[in-house]
Amino acid sequence: MQLEQRRQRTLAASIRWQMGIFGAYFAQFIKTRLAYRMDFFVDTFGVMVSIIIQLAVLTTLFGKVTALQGWTFEQVLFIYGFSLVPLGIFNIISVNLYQFADRYLIQGKFDRVLLRPVNTLAQVLCESFNVSGLNEIVLGTAIVIWSGMRMQLEVGALDVLAVLVMGPTAALVYLGVFLGITSISFWIEDKMGIAPPVYNVIRFSRYPLTIYSLPVRVLLTFVLPFAWVAFYPASWFIGEGNLHSVAALTPLVGLVVFSGAVLLWRRGVANYTSTGS
């Protein structure tokens, strides 16, 4: 019993130490970005304009039709808004995944990562951030609240807990998919050929899954499981029938996808050979 308690204390101390380092990473990044405030505000403005344009397209569409295969404007908007929250969380920490092969493998910077007594994946994710992801989180939350009020949704304590759990775990789906793609760079030299088209598939997941054909539903549920980032978790609030129980599986799906990607990452790290530079 004492040995188990000692292990738990050691694990808790290790987690606190790691989190302190990650906090220092983020604080240092914020200081760096604020040194170039105009760049920060330009990036923020660009993200907001992009989202506003997409919302304008939705509004124009529903100005011509009252429903999209049975889904009302408010329901579609709720799914769209919900999708922005995990996407924002993912975008905050994912910037180095897109540059990993070039910056860390080709330039040999991964050697430096291996020399530090901190988890390699955590170092790569936390060495740089994309704070414009905060705009997506804020705007997505606002859209969900507005559309929910329009639909007169009744929100209880369990629903609040569901949001707090499903938002971050849904982001794990994004992180798992793109971490898996990034991990392939340890074996394949084509570093950026896969990620951009996969990222474009995210757009399809922002709308009700039922409007698509069966092959697309299968793709978004099992192959590139982006439906678990927006449609399924949002169905907890606006879905009917068995969709409510399916939505409850979102945390499990997020953990499974991310865990599989972490295992692939570890295999890649073990396979890594220094460039010698």
Contact 148, 230 (CB under 8 A): no
The mean of the pLDDT values for the chain is 82
Burial degree of 211 (CB within 10 A; 0-12, 13-18, 19+): middle
For the chain, domain boundaries: 36-271
- pLDDT above 70 for 125: yes
- pLDDT above 60 for 3: no
- pLDDT above 70 for 156: yes
Q: Annotate 253-277 with b (16+ C-beta within 10 A) or e (fewer).
A: bbebbbeebbebbeebeeebeeeee
Q: Which of 199, 23, 203 is nearest to 97 (CA)?
A: 199
Q: Which tokens in the block code for residue 199?
A: 């990222």
Task: Give the pLDDT confidence of 43-65 residue by residue, as tens digits.
Answer: 667 767 777 777 776 677 666 66
Q: What is the distance between the alpha carbons of residues 85 and 102, in angstroms, rounded to a whole number?
A: 29
Contact 169, 256 (CB under 8 A): no
The partner residues of 9 in beta bridges, in order of sequence, read none
Confidence of residue 253 (pLDDT cuts 50, 70, 90): very high
Task: Give the pLDDT confidence of 58-97 residue by residue, as tens digits.
Answer: 677 666 666 677 888 889 889 988 999 999 999 988 888 8
Contact 78, 151 (CB under 8 A): yes
Q: Where are the alpha helices (DSSP H) in 35-72?
A: 37-64
Confidence of residue 4 (pLDDT cuts 50, 70, 90): low
The mean per-residue pLDDT over the stretch 117-126 comes to 86
Q: What is the distance between the alpha carbons of residues 87 and 99, in angstroms, rounded to a whole number?
A: 18
